[in-house]
Amino acid sequence: MANAAEGKTIAQMLLESARQDVAACKLLSAEISIGDAVVGFHAQQAVEKSIKAILSQGGIEFRRTHDLIALLDLLQDKGIPAPPNADWLDELNPYAVEARYGTLEPTGLDRSHVLGAIEAVLAWAHSQIATSSTS
């Protein structure tokens, strides 16, 4: 599946978007006046898009969801190795919708831990796509 205008696959576009979310998360994390909901949203999006890039690269259909648990389960069902920190990533689920729309006000987000986790997931996704591209 390619976007004719850009010549990029859906997986590549998702991965680039995930990279942008990681970059946004880094910048926003440094600013204490920015709330955890905003930082957590970009962290959750980086993970979601990274996983969806892997699924897309493998030609695996996935439903429109922000649920990281469902996406991680789909990886497992398809025999794809889980990303680093997979046992913790579901902690980002509330930032996709509830925190973003103000129905939950999270506090105490360990921003340095989150940054390390999402950077590791992005590196994992890059590695998975590079490996499948050379196969």
Contact yes or no for 56/9 (Cβ under 8 A): yes
The residue among 83, 76, 75, 68 whose CA lies nearest residue 127 is: 83
Model pLDDT, residue 98:
76
Model pLDDT, residue 8:
85
Model pLDDT, residue 99:
67
Kindly state whether residue 46 falls inside one of the protein's structural domains: yes
Three-state SS for 8? Answer: strand
Q: Please report how the helices 36-57 and 111-134 are oriented relative to each other, as an axis angle in degrees rounded to 10.
A: 10
β-sheet bridge partners, residue 3: 8
Kindly state whether residue 67 falls inside one of the protein's structural domains: yes
Cα–Cα distance between 65 and 73 in angstroms, integer? 13
Please tell me the pTM assigned to this model: 0.89
Q: How many distinct structural domains can be found in the chain?
A: 1
Model pLDDT, residue 134:
65
Low-confidence spans in the chain with pLDDT less than 50: 1-5
Model pLDDT, residue 101:
73
Domain region containing 68: 8-134
- The amino acid occupying position 17 is S
Cα–Cα distance between 125 and 54 in angstroms, integer? 6
- Around Cβ 32, how many Cβ atoms within 10 Å? 7
Model pLDDT, residue 12:
94
- What pLDDT, in 10s, does the model give residues 60-76? 999 888 999 999 999 99
Kindly state whether residue 3 falls inside one of the protein's structural domains: no
Kindly state whether residue 66 falls inside one of the protein's structural domains: yes
Kindly state whether residue 1 falls inside one of the protein's structural domains: no
Model pLDDT, residue 106:
74
Model pLDDT, residue 22:
98
106: domain CATH number?
1.20.120.330
Three-state SS for 2? Answer: strand
Kindly state whether residue 22 falls inside one of the protein's structural domains: yes
Give, as one character, the DSSP assignment of residue 88.
T
Model pLDDT, residue 135:
59
Kindly state whether residue 34 falls inside one of the protein's structural domains: yes
Kindly state whether residue 42 falls inside one of the protein's structural domains: yes
